[in-house]
Structure 1
Amino acid sequence: MFTSEYTDTVIEHFMCPRNVGIIDDSNGEGKAGDASCGDSLSIYIKVEDNIIEDISFLVYGCPASIATSSMTTELAKKKTLEEALSIGEDDIIDALGGLPDHKKHCSNLGVKALRSAIYDYLHEDKK
């Protein structure tokens, strides 16, 4: 069983992930993937007045990828775009209470997909 290598917070976000799904009227979408393990993540954001009012995700991956994706959305929700852009891999790992060394790369997906969604929103062609 994988429980011995993960914190209770990781297990909680894996078993009951927050903000799962697609936001139909999102105004930013970002994607990230890790070719070494096959995980992929899409993040959808709804921005109003420079605040991420809503955020969701779809992920294909291991328990750590699911948990880091869920935590990424929790950290970014109701933040300004600038605050959300400052979220880093260590912030996600710390919020989960840690990850095994061989799973820390999963936090990269959340950061990359979140930043990609924000840049998608900011892209001038979208406005």
Structure 2
Amino acid sequence: MFTNEYTDIVIEHFMCPKNVGILNDSNGEGKAGDPACGDSLNIYIKVKDDLIEDISFLVYGCPASVATSSMTTELAKKKTLKEALSISENDIIDALGGLPENKKHCSNLGVKALRSAIENYLVSAVENK
């Protein structure tokens, strides 16, 4: 049963995800996917003065993918790039109060897409100087 597998925090982030959508004025975009299960995540960031001012995401996947994507954006919002780069899969899982063992891989999507978005921002910033 769905409610027995997931914590209340996971259910909340699945049912009412935070920061959903395309961030039209983003200056960094990252993507990640898991071919084994078909999940796909795009993260958009708006960085100003080394701070992630705003962040959003679009995800295709299971409830755990939606929840981990939502939590990733919540953990990264208003963080410096260095702080955001240090966010780990375990940080996301812990913030959600845990995930079933067979769904822990979903937290990898958030970390990979966030790091990809930061890398995209940094490359663009160097190219635009």
Q: TM-score range by the shorter chain?
A: over 0.9
> How far 1:125 moved relative to its partner?
2.4
Q: Which residue of 1 aligns with 2:70?
A: 70
Q: Which residue of 1 aligns with 2:8?
A: 8
Deviant stretches of 4+, over 3 Å: none
Q: Which residue of 2 aligns with 1:41?
A: 41
Alignment of 1:1-127 (within 5 A): 1-123=1-123, 124-127=126-129
Between the aligned residues of both structures, percent identity stands at: 82
CA distance in 2 between partners of 1:125 and 1:69 (Å): 29
> How far 1:3 moved relative to its partner?
1.1
User: What SS is found at the alignment partner of 2:36?
Assistant: coil
Q: TM-score, normalised by structure 1?
A: 0.98
Q: For residues 68-93 of structure 1, what are the alpha-carbon distances to aligned partners after superposition, in whole Å with 9 as ceiling and x for unaligned?
A: 00000000000000000000000000
RMSD value over aligned CA atoms?
0.8
> How far 1:126 moved relative to its partner?
4.8
Q: TM-score, normalised by structure 2?
A: 0.97
CA distance in 1 between partners of 2:99 and 2:82 (Å): 26
Structure 2: give runs of 5+ residues left out of the alignment. none
